[in-house]
Structure 1
Amino acid sequence: MSLPCAHGGPVAEATLKAIPADFQVFEVMHVQPEGDGEHLWLHIEKTGWNTEDVAMWLAKSAGVHRLSVGYSGLKDKHAITRQWFSLHLPGKADPAFSWPEGLRLCDSARHRRKLNRGTHRANAFVIRATRFSGERAAVEQRLQAIMAAGVPNYFGEQRFGRGAGNLVRGSEWLSGGEAPRKKSLRGLWLSAVRSDLFNRVLAERVTRGVWNQVLEGDLLQPEGSRGLFRADEDSDAGRRVAEAEVHPTAPLPGVPGMASSGPCRDLEQQVLAPFESVIEGLCREGVEEARRATRLPVRDLQWSWRQEREGEDCLELAFVLPTGAFATTVMAELIRSQDPTA
């Protein structure tokens, strides 16, 4: 599905992720290990490793069950990323790890609790767009617009699996087809389907120019919170949305919960009507409806220019996004990606 851009579409072409160093991600934690406890927290830099593969390696190397290993979020394989892991080691000394290629220990400390999913509050990105082709002035103007207004909070294509396979198989399953054979696939397929439905509603709001504006009947979400409130109950809602204090939301469908109303509800129902059987399947599986902000603020956005050895321009970006957000949705408003093998 081609998703409409909010700022007019890409203004330049460049190669993204030519090498892992071109895409770097660092967890921004709001909890730090205290220095004492049964859990060993490890801050690890990884290159060419999936997060789950690192967790499996840690469990095997430490001689513990996989469930004794915790982490906060999944990070890209084809990138340089730094994230925290934890090992439950009651009464045990810190293991003497022999780190393999692609893994490097940055820091370690003990803590009283296991590191659970969603513990970190944000991710900091450093992205290099190489083999740049375009006008610098146009790019910087677009970056100013992104810094001021944010971007639509789309789920990135990685949410849907290779070739959107998780989305295709999940949609078929929920419409009466074959169920996932592995329990681990269930969550991936459900997530892919709900993310696609959210993207479709958001795409319609972008097309109508109301992705960052209040619609009558909207449910709003305060910045940095998962709470919701009805826009119609706040006479100051328009100003608060304009100042990015709160954001409009769109549904992640499932068993009905707190619902929008009026024109907002009409828009959502119009977009989701063709997917009635899929949504009924989500309800049968007991998935509860949730809401997600339609706007993604891009914090601490900075950029610089340099030349590659071949004399080609390179654009380096740094910014911070909340957990659950995708850097690819930011780049889609700016850069049309070239094939790095071309």
Structure 2
Amino acid sequence: MNHIKTYAYDHSPLQFDFKQTIERFFVEEIPLYSFTGNGNFLILKIKKTDMSTWKLITVLAKATGLQERDIGYAGLKDKSATTIQYISLPKQAERELNKNLTTERVEILERTYNKAPIKIGHLKGNRFSIILHKVNEKDAKFFNTTAKKMQVDGIPNYYGYQRFGEDSLSYLQGKEIAHSGKKLKGSKEKLLVSAYQSYLFNKWLASRVKLSAVINKEKSDAAAKKLKYPLELVKVLAKQPQFFKLFLGDVIMPYPYGKPNYVKDMMQSAQAFKQAKISPTGLLCGATAMRAKSDAYHLEEPFDDTELSSLKGDRRFAWIWPKEVETDYEKETRKLTVAFYLPKGSYATTFLEEIGKFSLKT
């Protein structure tokens, strides 16, 4: 699947060399809340290199004699990176851990205690620092300006290529499993089905970015012709101040978290969206997922699979705002270091691709 992404920004592509390695890709989890400092769970702040979260959990289970399911984590972190993440273990495993954890690739930076274990999704977001090579000075300046602009205007929240496996085709297996109607066996099958969910979300998001671009770029009558929409609707959409156009019945959520609701007044929602107070969401289809209504429902329906009922389903922000963006350029080595924060579940590579306008998958 060479899915050429639909980008929201229309600047010309930038050149840089990206590789996800332990020397060039750093990520640190930002916990959702501070830990209590006492309780029955040991909280470890762990720095790991060249090791996936799954592997880390296996290593910790071996060292402590715990079952893997007794080890809590907030998010999955890539193997080819230097990552800092939080892990929880039952307190009684601490002695075994001290005795048996010997690998060089795992360093415990801090320990504390908490009353509850860490659960998946228990994080605010991630802070990234990424070193890009072969960047000329003009591009480095442009990169910085563009990244800072995205801090204000936001970016589409696509799933990154990492979600779709080595061959980018894992979603096809997921679709097959979802359509078999069987109960999911183990985390591998769950991962494949959720890759299919993510694939549908990305397709929906690309379609919405595309139609928003038409409305932003073209005169209303030309846009109406191109999209086969009534002219009156296009005029109303064109008045919205933000790039990504909202429709009646879109599911919106307070940003960065809150309860979902529907767009009832397009202009009112558009104003709140422009100020990053709310963001539209896309469907991760499943048994209990909330569906869009009205006009937005018709835009969502082609990317909804009602046969996918083995997962609950959810909504995912369609639009996010990177924060704390900083860049640092070294002229001699042509290296650009870019640091930024993204909310949980968002991909650093998606942000870089929106700036560079090319796929980072090698």
TM-score, with length taken from structure 1: 0.87
Distance across 1 between alignment mates of 2:319 and 2:206: 12
Instruction: Looking at secondary structure, tell me which structure has more strand per residue.
Output: 1
Match of 1:300 in 2: 324
Q: Is 1:82–2:84 an aligned residue pair?
A: yes
- AA matched with 1:265: Y
| Residues 11 and 138, structure 1, Cα contact 8 Å, conserved in 2 | no
Match of 1:7 in 2: 9
Describe how 1:238-249 pairs up with structure 2 within 5 A: 238-249=270-281
- With a CA cutoff of 8 Å and minimum separation of 6, indicate the structure with the bigger relative contact order: 1
Distance across 2 between alignment mates of 1:91 and 1:265: 50
Distance across 1 between alignment mates of 2:160 and 2:361: 18
Q: Per-residue deviation at 1:229?
A: 0.9
| Residues 327 and 337, structure 2, Cα contact 8 Å, conserved in 1 | yes
Match of 1:260 in 2: 292
Relative to 1, partners in 2 of residues 1:257 and 1:324: Cα closer, same or farther, differing over 3 Å? Answer: closer
Match of 1:158 in 2: 162
Q: Is 1:218–2:250 an aligned residue pair?
A: yes
- AA matched with 1:301: V
Distance across 2 between alignment mates of 1:233 and 1:94: 58
Relative to 1, partners in 2 of residues 1:226 and 1:164: Cα closer, same or farther, differing over 3 Å? Answer: farther
Match of 2:28 in 1: 26
Relative to 1, partners in 2 of residues 1:171 and 1:91: Cα closer, same or farther, differing over 3 Å? Answer: closer
| Residues 10 and 332, structure 1, Cα contact 8 Å, conserved in 2 | no
Q: Is 1:315–2:336 an aligned residue pair?
A: yes
Relative to 1, partners in 2 of residues 1:290 and 1:16: Cα closer, same or farther, differing over 3 Å? Answer: same
Q: 1:251 aligns with which of 283, 286, 302?
A: 283
Q: Per-residue deviation at 1:6?
A: 0.6
Relative to 1, partners in 2 of residues 1:184 and 1:9: Cα closer, same or farther, differing over 3 Å? Answer: farther
Q: Is 1:281–2:313 an aligned residue pair?
A: no
Q: Indicate the SS of the match to 1:236.
A: helix
Q: Per-residue deviation at 1:42?
A: 1.1
Residue-by-residue CA offset, 1:233-257 (whole Å, 9 max, x unaligned)? 6862121011111011221122365
- AA matched with 1:117: I
- AA matched with 2:346: A
| Residues 214 and 241, structure 1, Cα contact 8 Å, conserved in 2 | no
Distance across 2 between alignment mates of 1:100 and 1:14: 34
| Residues 70 and 116, structure 1, Cα contact 8 Å, conserved in 2 | yes
Distance across 2 between alignment mates of 1:91 and 1:230: 47
| Residues 305 and 315, structure 1, Cα contact 8 Å, conserved in 2 | yes
| Residues 285 and 306, structure 2, Cα contact 8 Å, conserved in 1 | no
- AA matched with 1:216: L
Q: 2:143 aligns with which of 139, 144, 147?
A: 139
Distance across 1 between alignment mates of 2:202 and 2:328: 31
Relative to 1, partners in 2 of residues 1:64 and 1:142: Cα closer, same or farther, differing over 3 Å? Answer: same
Over the residues paired in the alignment, what is the CA RMSD in angstroms? Answer: 2.6
Instruction: Looking at secondary structure, tell me which structure has more helix per residue.
Output: 2
Q: 1:183 aligns with which of 177, 186, 199?
A: 186
Q: Is 1:104–2:107 an aligned residue pair?
A: yes
Paired residues in the alignment total 328
Residue-by-residue CA offset, 1:66-116 (whole Å, 9 max, x unaligned)? 222111111111011001111113386463244312111111122222221
Q: Indicate the SS of the match to 2:35.
A: coil
Gaps of at least 5 residues in structure 2 are 214-242
- AA matched with 1:300: E
Q: Per-residue deviation at 1:337?
A: 6.3
Q: Per-residue deviation at 1:282?
A: 0.3
Distance across 2 between alignment mates of 1:189 and 1:294: 21
Match of 2:346 in 1: 325
- AA matched with 2:143: V
| Residues 212 and 294, structure 1, Cα contact 8 Å, conserved in 2 | no
Moved more, 76-85 or 107-116: 107-116
Q: 1:200 aligns with which of 179, 191, 203?
A: 203
